[in-house]
Structure 1
Amino acid sequence: MTDFPEALVAELAKKSGVVWVTYDAQPHPVWHEWVGDAVCLVANGGEQPLPGIESESTVTLVLRSKANRHLIAEAEATVEVLTPASEHWDVVTLALRTGRLNLHDRDSAIERWSRESQVIRLIPTGTVTQAADVSSAIAQSVPHLARR
């Protein structure tokens, strides 16, 4: 394990529309926005299912190349659940609403998220493992994408 600058994790997260979040030995692909210093997302309710994420203290961000889906790095991140009273709520929810594709209730989405979902910040701790140092079984896996 090496300490990477926050800029590397930020660059990898910004370039990809999907980040894989792993906890309880389960990987979950999630849409997200990089806001400030964290991967931010909306979980559960009518959004992407991430059962129990609000109870996790840390997760692993699996960062893959947007072009070829090859694993580039894994980064440890702390989990912060935001509420409407949180310092980051307004900035994060506005960025998520702006970045969310096909949002059917754009005008009321933030209110719905506050009632039905969790708004989550995943803040990198600075601990990053390069792809070459990740178990070969993980490094060579390619996420299965839904086929239509």
Structure 2
Amino acid sequence: MNTDLVADLAKKSGLVWVAYAGRTHAVWHEWVGDAVCIVSGGTEQPLPGITEQQTVVLSLRSKSSRALVAQAEARVEVLSPESEHWAPATSALKSGRLNLVDSDHAIERWDRESVIVRLVPTGQVTLPDGIPSTLGRTAPHLST
């Protein structure tokens, strides 16, 4: 059930917040299969050090109120073109990417200069009553 909540929230929002190594990053993503998929690096959004992480914390908000609804632990999987998840993830990311200038060659460019990661929820989800109210300014705010 916790994974269903994460999937529902991630599918409805264009942004998730990814927290690791003491920082929180707002990133655009696509929900593909059972994971949040993100392209990072090169000319895409920066997520420095994401490939060195084993797990991260996703902060997910309500699309209507934009209030923080849940935080979920996710396992980091770095994808390579040989991965079974590469084609579905890159296809979804390419389709969802706004203002993509090199649509015909984006996936090849991502392979050369970026990293594609799947953030797979572990099932550990924290709801608002368990989330500290002292979140960083880049994270979505708890509803009051």
* TM-score under structure 2 length normalisation: 0.92
Using the alignment, how far apart are the partners of 1:122 and 1:70 within structure 2? 21
Find out whether 1:15 has 2:12 as its counterpart.
yes
Query: 1:141 deviation in Å?
Result: 5.6
* TM-score under structure 1 length normalisation: 0.90
- The residue that corresponds to 1:86 in the other structure is 83
What letter is aligned with 1:88?
H
Contact kept in structure 2, 1:61 and 1:77, CA below 8 Å: yes
- The residue that corresponds to 1:75 in the other structure is 72
Using the alignment, how far apart are the partners of 1:125 and 1:105 within structure 2? 34
Instruction: Summarize the alignment of residues 1-148 of structure 1 with structure 2, pairs less than 5 Å apart.
Output: 4-138=1-135, 143=139
Using the alignment, how far apart are the partners of 2:57 and 2:15 within structure 1? 14
Using the alignment, how far apart are the partners of 1:100 and 1:93 within structure 2? 10
What letter is aligned with 2:69?
I
Contact kept in structure 2, 1:77 and 1:122, CA below 8 Å: yes
* Count of residue pairs brought into register by the alignment: 140
Query: 1:67 deviation in Å?
Result: 2.3
What letter is aligned with 2:56?
V
What letter is aligned with 2:50?
I
Q: CA RMSD, aligned part only?
A: 1.6
Using the alignment, how far apart are the partners of 2:57 and 2:97 within structure 1? 23
The Cα offsets for residues 37-68 of structure 1, whole Å up to 9 and x where unpaired, read as 00001011110000000000000000011223
Contact kept in structure 2, 1:70 and 1:142, CA below 8 Å: no
What letter is aligned with 1:30?
V
